[in-house]
Amino acid sequence: MDREKPLLGTVQETLLIPLYARAVETRKEHALLRDPRAEEIVASIDYDFGRFDGLPSLTGALLRTLLFDRWVAEFLSAHPQATVVEIGTGLNTRYERVDNGRARWFELDLPDVIALRRRFFTDTPQRTMIASSVTDAAWAAEVASGAGGPYLFLAEAVLPYLDEADVRQVVDLLADRFPGALLALDTAGPGFFDTQEEHDALSRVEARMHWFCPDLPAQLADWRPGADMMASHTLTSLPAALLAQLPLPYRQMVAALAAQKLPQAEGYRLNLIRLP
């Protein structure tokens, strides 16, 4: 396949960071995960990925992905024919990693991302790409008419790039259309948000975060009273069962990071909520 320059907007370019993290990891002897599709995709895209080489936050992105994967696997084990919706899917390969052959998947992103994604993935009766902003309510009607619940929505490294008013609109849309659904999302606290200019990966692209959230339970109590926090972790307080599965060098890395108690790390949370 000819290497093609990706024609992506500013925020869309950020999808190349976790994609590259998964591709690079795949070549390691003791890997957090293996993603041969990510390697193929990286090889066929004309982009200076070298700017991300060796950045510590690539490991953070992988740990986040593993936790989100775990939440999907647990959800599908309890509800094998449920619906999973990837909001801001980028070039993620979660379906390849955790699909159970019976669930219904929707993968949503902005139109230029879906155009790129269609070069590597195809729709099937179980798997549908949607080209739309998450803030455009029409996509929710497509999901609701195409599949029944229960629903798990994943917004991995997506909502912090939106304005707060748009995040609230998304939470309202999901809660109105899919009451009782689960939503996995990451939140940046002020320590993370205020240092984004120095962030190792973000400082190498133009996109910036626009929403930070120091206290998600309080924020939800204000926006949608009755939402339940099912889980909330930092990269240094991952579930014990997930931590136990990591290769030893990664367990040591996480322990060393925990000991430093950096505000950037401690203020970045991975959350699973049940909408009211």
Ligand X SMILES: C[S@@+](CC[C@H](N)C(=O)[O-])C[C@H]1O[C@@H](n2cnc3c(N)ncnc32)[C@H](O)[C@@H]1O
The answer to whether 59 contacts ligand X (rule: CB under 6 A) is: no
Q: How far apart are CA 204 and CA 184, in angstroms?
A: 26
Of the pair 31, 258, the CB lying nearest ligand X is at 31
Q: How far apart are CA 188 and CA 209, in angstroms?
A: 9
Q: How far apart are CA 263 and CA 106, in angstroms?
A: 35
We find the least distance from the C-beta atom of residue 262 to ligand X, in angstroms, to be 21
Of the listed pieces 98-106, 131-139, 236-244, 254-262, which binds ligand X according to CB under 6 A? 131-139
Q: Residue written as tokens 């959230």? A: 213
We find the least distance from the C-beta atom of residue 248 to ligand X, in angstroms, to be 25
Of the pair 144, 173, the CB lying nearest ligand X is at 173
We find the least distance from the C-beta atom of residue 230 to ligand X, in angstroms, to be 20
The answer to whether 107 contacts ligand X (rule: CB under 6 A) is: no
Beta bridge pairs of residue 188: 268
Beta bridge pairs of residue 234: 269
Q: How far apart are CA 236 and CA 228, in angstroms?
A: 22
The answer to whether 156 contacts ligand X (rule: CB under 6 A) is: yes
Residue 249 near residue 30, CB atoms below 8 Å: yes
From residue 84, how far is each of 3, 50, 216 by CA, in Å?
31, 33, 22
Among positions 59, 100, 128, 135, the unique one binding ligand X when judged by CB under 6 A: 135
We find the least distance from the C-beta atom of residue 261 to ligand X, in angstroms, to be 25
For binding to ligand X (CB under 6 A), which residues are involved? 11-12, 14-15, 17-18, 88-90, 92, 109-110, 113, 133-135, 156-158, 161-162
